[in-house]
Structure 1
Amino acid sequence: MADRKLFALVSILILISIILTYSLSAYTTLLFGVSEFHFAIRQAAFGLMGVIIIWLLAQLDPDEWLAPIGFTLFIGSAILMIAMPFLPEFLVSAVGGAKRWIKVFGFSIAPVEFFKVGFVYFLAWSFSRKLGDHAGMGIGAEFKRFIPYALVFVGAMFMIAFVQNDLGQVVVLGMTLLFMLMFAGSSFRFFLSLLFISLSFFMFFIFTAEHRITRIKSWWALAQNSVLELFPTSIAEKLRVPTEIEPYQIGHSINAIHNGGMFGTGLGGGTFKLGFLSEVHTDFVLAGLAEEFGFFGVLFVVFLFMWILQRIFKIANRSKDTSIYLFSLGIGLLLSFAFIVNAYGISGITPIKGISVPFLSYGGSAMIAASIAIGMVLMASKKADLE
């Protein structure tokens, strides 16, 4: 039997997302001249569709359906991402020159959201067959064994970071790949080596794109005062960024969090959603949650999310099938890193990466893709001893 607790917990989080979407989109509905329920109704439709998808997938036999669904997501979404730059304008939506969404019947679908789930399945399927114990294996042999996966990841990185101009998704995928490698049987020395190489590539991507450099400077302008006071004055002055660089979004996000205090302003009582934070119901939903429901509201959502992860990791830990173990683990890591990257960004700890909060941020593609991931984990949980 599939894990009913996981199904219930995800359903509760989806319900919270619908309530937050209604409250936090108040200004956006006025800005676009649509009904006050416009985004809430759409999110409710996405949420209902997500719950149905989770339930339907949970009924399927993992031995028969897990692989076809996983490979369809991986190969199908990869083909769509490769084709997107060549599709006509009426079929794709572009933001800042980057084509990230495909228009289908009035909705926009982001193939990268589905690719992440398929990529995790591909890694789990392949790692369970190719990787294993590293005893007696030198680091050179481990790198040789990793080459095919490196090529796949570099291809994905090119499509996402360069073609779609979305470095945040690459960060989440890269971190998931690294930790899945370690749990699949690679040595800790190899893990640290890949981590260093990944950080080097990450810095390369930042310093080769002007908009990313500007974003880093904007973040640093806000964070520098608290950090530089730890350094000698001579060094601090060299690292200081001119104050005219205004960290607009991060500044208002932090002020929204501060305004919420311990108990919040109440549902609908937030002020920073009124034009100060653009479309707060999407990437800044945690800041909106903090303002209207306070510290305890955020704590409740974090507790709920942690409970979801605990159920996913329990399924992984109780699975005797290595591919199911790695897939469940990978989905848990994928959701964890997305939540952490978003939370760190809206609180000013790291630069904003444009990563949505799983099941909480407004958006159909992210909701449906995450629901498919949970549905596949629930399908796989039938082979795990959860008693």
Structure 2
Amino acid sequence: MSRMDAPRGAEATSEEAPARKARTRRPEGGHSALGERLIAGVPARIMRPRIVFLACLVAILAFGLLMVYSASSVEALKEMGSSVYYLQRQAIFIAIGLAGMLAVSRVPLVVMRSKLAWWAWGAMLALLMLVLLVGKDAGGARRWILIAGQQFQPSEFAKAVVVVTAAKIFYEYYEEGSLDTARFLALLIACAGAPLLTIILEPDMGTCLIIAGSVFCMAYFAGFSYKLIGAVLGIGALLAVVLILSSDYRADRLFLGNPWDDPYDTGYQATLAIMAFASGGLFGRGIGNSTMKYNYLPEAHNDYILAIIGEELGLVGTLAFFAVFAVMVYAAFKIAWQSPSIQGRLIASGSIVLIALQFLINILGILGVTPMTGKTLPFTSYGGSSMIASLILMGLVLRVSIESNPKTVYDVRRDDFAVVDESTAGEPRLRGARSGGFTVLDGAQGRPRGTGRDDARPQAPRRSAPLASSRGGWGDGAQGRSRVDLGRDPADRLRRSGPRVGYDRGGYAPGRGRATGSPRGRRHDR
């Protein structure tokens, strides 16, 4: 079909396509439209740690997804009939967690320090108490609850709520000054103590230690005196010892000793994890070549996924994984210290301390340094509640980074600025009868003369334009203001000799001195 036979809509589309492409094309050496919208006006000192933080988080999520598939493919094929069963579910958990992270990052900090924080804290406490009543038992603990056919662990989501509520209390005491010391300590103990009590009764000692340690670090970052910090640390250590000794199960795990003394019972998982690290050597067996995942190491894709990482990637790969995680933690702390308010600093630092403590507890438990508490490796182990709750904490860090660049009144005024792409003075109007020059008047008679370039050519007589009015600009009566064409040749305007310019009745001529004499035919004193 020829161009003449093509429909008008198709022709218009073909003509508009290059224009659309030109509008959406990335400028040479610049950023895309999305990039400009995300980073425009953000200083590099704020954007740099944010980009590093997000890049490390995405890298860890992708690596964790790969390792979950590698560690669970054999078990999933045997039990579920599909080697990608756990991979698909983990991908769904990550998608839900990222959606929650973006949603939390849109909530302003001023909302987090309102009464809604206490409402969220109350709802969280009610869920924790509901777990004790109708929760599901698994592995000797009651930590899960079934709602709408979905099983989740409320103690994982309690971490973010406690951090936000504690930061609100610290803000009201240190920055706002609306709390006295007695009420401040009472609210802080209630904020952390009530959830910790319900979590201990589940029992979930690992989560209790992580939340208590995070609140303690927040108190240190807020500026607690060293005497008070020492007292809190001593009381906390004493309570932990009492809780451990009150249960034979916890005491046995704490004083397990050498796992090789009983490698087929109490030390079974610990010895297999050490064997997995040892068999990995320096560079590992390679991705997917682990032998411990063949029903030797229980929970290979969950709590003990680090052992599979050590076996398949070796010491070098494991240390590289630790380095990426450490860089993410460092970037999060940079974001925390750049926050202009104590609330933002404590939310960001408390969130990343939670993740770092859970990471450390999992590693020490796998290596046999401390008893295994059942805590997953953040962003890497398989698990829905842990993944979603951890990404929500990262959303809090991202929100603090966003509010580290507050919008000032000058930014608001600057956004209202508009760029004028065309003149507002109207069409140009010639002052003389000839295009491109001045109208030169005879000083004695007031008759128009030439501009000096072609004085011999006759010109039509016309009224000269009046002098600029007091409002600024040249007017022509009913037509109002209009532009004046000063000509294309500056030499005619700047020459020092010749008749006066721009006056029909004498007066002061620019560059010619002071006007003297009679009103008509004035001469100029040099």
1:119 maps to which residue?
A: 162
Contact 1:26 1:274 in 2 (8 A): no
1:186 aligns with 2:206: no
Deviations 1:229-279 (A, max 9, x none): xxxxxxxxxxxx889964111111111111111111111111112222211
Give me the whole-angstrom Cα distance separating, in 2, the residues matched to 1:6 and 1:246: 39
With over 3 angstroms needed to count, the CA separation of the structure-2 counterparts of 1:288 and 1:73, relative to structure 1, is farther
Q: Corresponding residue for 2:259?
A: 222
Could you tell me which residue of structure 1 aligns to residue 319 of structure 2?
299
In 2, Cα distance between equivalents of 1:37 and 1:303 = 28
Match of 1:320 in 2: 340
Q: Tell me what 1:175 maps to.
A: 213
Aligned amino acid, residue 143 of structure 2: R
* Structure-2 residue corresponding to 1:80: 127
Say how many residue pairs are matched. 355
Opposite residue 195 of structure 1, the aligned amino acid is L
3-state secondary structure, aligned to 2:142: strand
Alignment of 1:249 with 2:249, yes or no, is: no
| TM-aligned CA distance change 1:280 to 1:189, over 3 Å | same
Secondary structure at 2:340 match in 1? coil
Offset, 1:29: 1.7
Deviation of residue 74 (structure 1)? 3.0
Q: Which residue of 2 aligns with 1:235?
A: none
**Which secondary structure does the structure 2 equivalent of 1:175 belong to?**
helix
2:83 pairs with 1:36: yes
Between 1:114-123 and 1:181-190, the stretch displaced more is 181-190
- 1:376 Cα offset (Å): 2.0
Q: Match for 1:343 among 363, 376, 388?
A: 363
Q: State how far apart, in whole Å, the 1-side matches of 2:116 and 2:97 are.
A: 16
Q: Distance in 2 between matches of 1:71 and 1:293?
A: 45
Alpha-carbon distance in structure 1 between the residues aligned to 2:300 and 2:114 = 37
1:15 aligns with 2:54: no
Aligned letter for 1:22? Answer: Y
* Cα distance in 2, alignment partners of residues 264 and 69 from structure 1: 50
The more displaced of 152-161 and 257-266 is: 152-161
Of Structure 1 and Structure 2, which has the larger fraction of its residues in helix?
Answer: 1
1:370 lines up with 2:370 in the alignment: no
The secondary structure found in structure 2 opposite 1:108 is: strand
Give distance in 2, aligned partners of 1:53 and 1:66.
19
**Alpha-carbon shift at residue 146 of structure 1 (Å):** 2.9
2:196 is matched with: 157
- Quote the residue 1:237 is aligned against: none
Q: Determine helix, strand or coil for the equivalent of 2:136.
A: strand
Contact persistence 1:66–1:380 (CA under 8 A): no
Change (3 A) 1:168 1:297: same
2: distance between equivalents of 1:348 and 1:104? 36
8 A Cα contact 1:317 1:325, kept in partner = yes
Q: 1:184 to 1:263 in 2, by over 3 A?
A: same
Structure 1 residue 106: deviation in Å? 4.3
- Whether contact under 8 Å (2:56, 2:328) holds in the other structure is yes
- Structure 2 counterpart of 1:109, which letter? F
Q: Contact 2:169/2:188 (CA < 8 Å) preserved in 1?
A: no
Bigger shift: residues 56-65 or 315-324: 56-65
Contact 1:85/1:99, CA 8 A, preserved across alignment: yes
Report the CA distance between 1:157 and its aligned residue: 2.2
Q: For 1:279 and 1:242, how far apart are their aligned partners in 2?
A: 19
Q: 1:321 to 1:277 in 2, by over 3 A?
A: same
Structure 1's 63 and 46: CA in aligned 2 closer, same or farther, altered over 3 A? Answer: same
Q: Percent identity?
A: 26
Report the residue type matching 1:49 in the other structure: I
Choose 287-296 or 47-56, whichever is displaced more: 47-56
Distance verdict in 2 for CA 1:67–1:312, change over 3 Å: farther
Change beyond 3 A, Cα 1:69–1:17: farther
Equivalence for 1:99: 142
- Offset from partner CA, 1:73-122 (integer Å, 9 cap, x none): 533222111112223xxxx4311453211224543211111101110111
Shift of 1:204: 1.0
Distance 1:126 1:366, change over 3 A: same
| Cα pair distance change 1:257/1:72, threshold 3 Å | farther
2:507 corresponds in structure 1 to: none
Cα 1:171/1:114, change in 2 over 3 Å = same
| 1:214–1:375 distance in 2 versus 1, CA, 3 Å | same
Query: By how many angstroms is 1:385 displaced?
Result: 4.7
Cα 1:126–1:280, aligned 2, differ >3 Å: closer, same or farther?
A: same
CA shift at 1:67, angstroms?
Answer: 5.5
Contact persistence 1:73–1:117 (CA under 8 A): no
Please state how far the C-alpha of 1:217 moved relative to its aligned partner: 3.4
Q: For 1:53 and 1:244, how far apart are their aligned partners in 2? A: 42
Paired residues of 1:28 and 1:279 also in contact (CA < 8 A):
no
Query: Which of the residues 228, 231, 241 maps onto 1:203?
Result: 241
Residues 106 and 83 of structure 1, relative CA distance in 2, 3 Å threshold: closer
Distance 2:235 2:107 in 1: 40
What is the CA–CA distance in structure 2 between the aligned matches of 1:357 and 1:69, rounded to whole Å?
A: 31
User: C-alpha deviations, 1:267-322, integer Å up to 9, x for none?
Assistant: 11111122222111111111111111111221122111111111211111001111
Q: CA deviation at 1:336?
A: 0.9
Give the 3-state SS of the residue equivalent to 1:25 in structure 2. helix
- Matches of 1:40 and 1:94 in 2, distance apart? 25
Please say which of residues 2-11 and 32-41 is displaced more in the overlay: 2-11
Structure 2 residue runs without a partner (length 5+): 1-38, 40-46, 407-526
Partner of 1:51: 98
Q: How does 1:1-12 map to 2 (within 5 A)?
A: 3-12=50-59
Higher mean C-alpha displacement, 314-323 vs 68-77:
68-77
- Cα gap change, 1:67 to 1:144, in 2 (>3 Å): closer
* CA deviation after TM superposition for structure 1 residue 161, in Å: 1.2
Q: What residue is the counterpart of 2:509 in the other structure?
A: none
